[in-house]
């Protein structure tokens, strides 16, 4: 079920990307068609290229501002919480988490003795301190 949802999401993203590409090319042709009677064909192509470069520059500046906005001063964590860190990574990078989970599962299937040793190390109670 998760695999089907992932595939459907990827298919939807591909369809959206294709629609965006078609609309960008159509807009470029429309701008060119409007400008050809006003200037030469070479001039119209140059203006279309300049408009595209301006749009890319503005989008890049917006993306750069968003990235800079996330890099504000952050307070250092008070203590290291492994569970909280794992949950944070899964929320921030779900695709990477799925890949790591699949790789860990395959590794666990290939090496059951090592998996048992790691599970025993985590699940055994700690010896009392002196």
Beta strands in the chain (DSSP E): none
- Identify whether residues 47 and 5 lie together within a single domain: yes
Structure-model confidence comparison of residues 120 and 73, the more confident one = 120
Which pLDDT does position 73 carry in this prediction?
Answer: 57
The angle subtended at Cα 97 by Cα 4 and Cα 119, nearest 5°, is 110
The answer as to whether 98 is a domain residue is yes
Cβ atoms of 45 and 32 closer than 8 Å: yes
**48-59 confidence digits (pLDDT tens):** 888 888 888 888
Q: What is the total count of domains within the chain?
A: 2
The answer as to whether 77 is a domain residue is no
The answer as to whether 76 is a domain residue is no
Helix (H, G, I), strand (E, B) or coil at 37: coil
Q: Is the pLDDT of residue 29 over 80?
A: yes
**59-118 confidence digits (pLDDT tens):** 888 878 877 665 555 655 566 666 777 778 778 887 777 777 777 777 777 777 877 777
Distance CA 2, CA 58 (A): 37
User: By residue range, what is the domain housing residue 117?
Assistant: 82-125
Distance CA 113, CA 43 (A): 71
Distance CA 90, CA 97 (A): 6
The answer as to whether 130 is a domain residue is no
Tokens representing 105? 């599962």
- Identify whether residues 61 and 2 lie together within a single domain: yes
């Amino acid at each position: 079920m998760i695999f089907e949802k992932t595939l459907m999401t990827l298919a939807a993203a591909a369809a959206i990307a294709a629609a965006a590409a078609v609309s960008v090319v159509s807009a470029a042709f429309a701008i060119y068609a409007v400008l050809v009677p006003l200037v030469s064909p070479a001039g119209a192509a140059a203006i279309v290229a300049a408009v595209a470069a301006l749009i890319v520059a503005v989008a890049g500046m917006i993306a750069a501002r968003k990235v800079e906005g996330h890099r504000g001063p952050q307070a250092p964590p008070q203590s290291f919480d492994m569970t909280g860190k794992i949950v944070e990574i899964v929320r921030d990078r779900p695709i990477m988490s799925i890949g790591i989970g699949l790789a860990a599962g395959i590794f666990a299937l290939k090496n059951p003795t090592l998996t048992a040793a790691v599970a025993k190390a985590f699940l055994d109670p700690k010896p009392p301190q002196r």
